Amino acid sequence: MATSAPVRQSSQGGIYGQIREIYQYRELLRNLVISDLKARYKNSVLGFFWSLLNPLGMMLVFTLIFGLLVPNVQIERYPLFLLCGLLPWNYFSASVQGSLYSVLGNAGLVKKVYFPRAILPIATVLSQLINFLLAFVILFAALLIFQSNFSPWLWLLPFVLLIQTIFTIGVALILSTLNVFYRDTSMIMDVLMLAWFFLTPVFYSTALLPDSITLLGVTLNPQRLLYILNPMASLVNMYRDLLYWGYRTDLDFFLRSAVTAVAVLLFGAWFFRRYSDRFGEEL
Amino acid sequence: MQVSRYDTIQPGEPALELHNVSRRFIKRRERSRSFQERFLRLLSRRNVEQEEFWPLDGVSLTLTRGECLGVIGPNGSGKSTLLKLVSGILPPTAGEMVVRGRVCSLLELGAGFHPDLTGRENVYLNGSIYGLSRAQMNERIDRIIDYAELGDFIDTPVRHYSSGMYVRLGFAVAIHTDPDLLLVDEVLAVGDTNFQHKCLTSIRQLQAAGVTMILVSHDLASIQSICSRAIWIRHGKVQSDGPPLDVTLDYLSQLSVDEDAARTQGGEITDMEKLERRRWGSGKIRITRVETLDADGNLVPSLNTGGPLTVRLHYQAPQRVEQPVFGIGLHNQSGVHVGGPNTRTGHFHISFVEGEGTLDYHMPSVPLIEGEYLLSVAVVNADDTETFDYHDRLYPVRVHAGRSSERYGLVQLAGEWRLASDAEPGLPIDPSLAAANGR
């Protein structure tokens, strides 16, 4: 006599199943993040300081160049202004670069054993997040020493970080998949990221942009366009509002960024899920 | 295509069900690996030649809990694809698959090990790859280290490990993950004999504990000794399914047919250069052909351990040659000369040869264990001062295990086991007693 099997939730359901599975494998996520950090810092304290060298060097270069090129437009305490934008940008940019090879670089593992593949790009982003947080401690010290104008809305900062992480994971999921199928994704991204960097108000202030430009007979507002088209521009400005200018970030502005980030993550998760089945044969 | 996976298995449920499962691969002649190529292809509007092949084509299979399935078949027959579908690395193209319980695929030789991390750290890493939490690993770590027999090496980076140590550690982690379904792909062949024994013991224990297993191997002997059931996959289909002995014998007989076909197609010896280097002699007598025959006088390329074999030499002597000595030799894969009978040592006197003829050497029972062997043949003069013709290891002979399950050493030492009933059978040797006696 055959009895039908009791109904149980399949472990490969929709987005809920995906999240549940990643939670099940959280130990792997943790291990990947730790081994990534270990490799980067080579188990030494000095390793951490080396990782600060890059933003500090860039700060020096931009301060000099900006001062030389546009001496009329001076931004008060420019190094602090720059760091408030540069550190979040570096977090994003390093995550993007790392995520491109997160699946490709683990081909041996992906072909041999099953685990939720999304762990790989997520681990890359999280390890960059930790890196970013460590650098943030230094930035905070500098902000305190130079008496920056902290915003009364400073408590929003963790949420800004969360929004950026959500957005970055979404982008990482898409790019890690694309690079498996098309290996020149990383080449294209090199150029794209450079353009993206200049289109993000990292070393300049949005206030420096003209109010309107006319392109092919259409009058555009570059400031508004920048915010609408580039989530990173909004994010960088939110950091700056809270840490440097001491403004209140408009709530609708904040919410819009949050919605964009979640939308990108959802699309990334869908995209990754749609194509990650084929990793086993493409790698 | 439908895949259902359940985290747990209830008693009485099958561990694995495949209904008409197929998997397609597309071999693209030119495969676009980049946007650039894709774009160029769009411009040239050339049709991409696509060639499909189906490593698995309509496979249906049900495994009950605790079964140990051996999968055999030639390379590229779809064995590994089957494991990849079950483990979830590849999705099936068509068909329905139900997997119940935790699946653990034994990783190939330390895949997933991080060379810079110590053995201990890698145990945790590997455990997490299998989806175990830190707490679960803490519980098991001592048992794993103990099992892997690595001693102090456990805190050394695995980069310094020998391949045997890699395997031991990898296997130790895998079997301690409490799998419901264990997938093993050709991993047991590595490691030393002692550890192989240990693996086998563990596999039997797991089996007894109700763990379902799928084993892919070329080693038919171990399939026969470990598995409770075997399937033979040929051209993506299950060709034969049943008790391991029957299935392996089926497979072997097909193998001989294939080898025969290959031999008749390939002709005698084609590789002239190889021939030159491996053949010498004055040519007063020439060995023109060498054949291996079974008991009924049919040409066979292989035999089973313990089976009969006749080596037939065709010779040609343009002029009369007095008292020639013919001989054959057999080397195994590692180059060991396992035997070399000749007419002199066999006290078989040939007074002279002239013209063409054949000479048979008949062995009623060849005790060699499973493996590839190379046959040499030679003819020399009576006092071994002149070599007329020498073919050094020119003829491959395959020995299959057949019904023999001998796996160690070179030959099957025929004999029988007897247990004396008035002694104390099964009394284990107490190591402390033995040590005390030694003193």
Among candidates B80, B61, B57, which has minimal Cα distance to B18? B61
Domain annotation covers residue A95: yes
Average pLDDT, stretch B15-36? Answer: 80
Max mean pLDDT among A157-166, B232-241, B407-416 falls in A157-166
pLDDT of residue B422: 67
For residue B99, is pLDDT > 80?
yes
Domain annotation covers residue A1: no
pLDDT of residue B260: 63
Note whether B132 contacts A35, CB cutoff 8 Å: no
The ipTM of this complex is: 0.77
**What residues pair up with B232 in beta bridges, in sequence order?**
B72, B240
Note whether B131 contacts A39, CB cutoff 8 Å: no
CA-CA distance, B414 to B366, in Å (whole number)?
Answer: 11
| Domain total of chain B | 1
Which residues of B have a CB under 8 Å from any CB of A?
Answer: 3-8, 10, 13, 25, 32-36, 38, 84, 87-91, 100, 103, 105, 107-108, 111-112, 114, 116-117, 124-125, 127-134, 137
pLDDT of residue B107: 61
How many angstroms away from the CA of B52 is the closest CA of chain A? 14
Domain annotation covers residue A147: yes
Residue bearing tokens 């089973």: B304
For residue A161, is pLDDT > 50?
yes
pLDDT of residue B423: 56
Q: Which residues of A touch B117 (CB under 8 A)?
A: 35
Domain annotation covers residue B277: yes
Domain annotation covers residue B143: no
CA-CA distance, B139 to B126, in Å (whole number)?
Answer: 15
Residue among A31, A274, A279 with most chain B CBs within 10 A, to mutate: A31
For residue A8, is pLDDT > 50?
no
For residue B294, is pLDDT > 90?
no
**pLDDT (tens digit per residue) in B275-292:** 555 677 778 888 888 888
**pLDDT (tens digit per residue) in A101-110:** 999 988 888 8
Query: Phi and psi at residue B333, in whole multiples of 5°?
Result: -60, -30
Q: Which residues of A touch B107 (CB under 8 A)?
A: 112-113
Q: How far is CA A193 from each of CA A66, A199, A256, B17, rounded to the nearest angstrom?
A: 21, 10, 23, 48
Domain annotation covers residue B287: yes
The partner residue sitting opposite B7, judged by closest CB among A11, A35, A277, is A11
Size of interface A-B (CB pairs under 8 A): 88
Note whether A113 contacts B107, CB cutoff 8 Å: yes
Which residues of A have a CB under 8 Å from any CB of B?
Answer: 5-6, 8, 10-12, 24-28, 30-31, 35, 38-39, 108-115, 182-185, 188, 277, 280-281
Max mean pLDDT among A42-46, A191-195, B216-220, B387-391 falls in A191-195
Is this prediction's pTM over 0.80? no
- Taking CA atoms, what residue in A is nearest to B123? A31
Domain annotation covers residue A9: no
Domain annotation covers residue B104: no
Q: Which residues of A touch B129 (CB under 8 A)?
A: 28, 109, 113, 115
- Using the 8-state DSSP alphabet, how is residue A146 labeled? T
| Domain total of chain A | 1
Q: Who wins on pLDDT, B433 or B284?
A: B284
For residue A41, is pLDDT > 80?
no
Average pLDDT, stretch B344-373? Answer: 90
How many angstroms away from the CA of B210 is the closest CA of chain A? 19
Cα dihedral sign, A144-A150-A153-A159: negative
For residue A190, is pLDDT > 70?
yes
Average pLDDT, stretch B372-394? Answer: 86
Ordered DSSP codes for A41-53: HTT-HHHHHHHHH
- Domain of residue B361, residue span: 272-400
Domain annotation covers residue B262: no
For residue B11, is pLDDT > 90?
no
pLDDT of residue B189: 60
For residue B130, is pLDDT > 90?
no
Note whether B131 contacts A182, CB cutoff 8 Å: no
Q: Who wins on pLDDT, A4 or B225?
A: B225
Domain annotation covers residue B360: yes
Domain annotation covers residue B325: yes
Note whether A112 contacts B112, CB cutoff 8 Å: yes
Residue B45 pLDDT class (50, 70, 90 cuts): low
For residue B362, is pLDDT > 80?
yes
For residue B273, is pLDDT > 70?
no
Average pLDDT, stretch B311-327? Answer: 90
Pair B14, B20: CB distance under 8 Å: no
Residue B334 sits in a domain whose CATH number is: 2.70.50.60
Pair B256, B300: CB distance under 8 Å: yes
Q: What is the mean pLDDT of chain B?
A: 82
Q: What is the mean pLDDT of chain A?
A: 84
Residue B50 pLDDT class (50, 70, 90 cuts): low
Q: Out of A85-99, B70-84, B417-431, pick the least confident.
A: B417-431
**pLDDT (tens digit per residue) in A125-142:** 999 999 999 888 888 888
Domain annotation covers residue B21: no
Q: Which residues of A touch B5 (CB under 8 A)?
A: 10-12
Pair A184, B32: CB distance under 8 Å: no
- Domain of residue A133, residue span: 15-282
pLDDT of residue B263: 58
pLDDT of residue B270: 42
Q: Which residues of B touch A188 (CB under 8 A)?
A: 35
CA Rg value for chain B: 28
Q: Which residues of B touch A276 (CB under 8 A)?
A: none
Q: Which residues of A touch B131 (CB under 8 A)?
A: 24-25, 27-28, 115
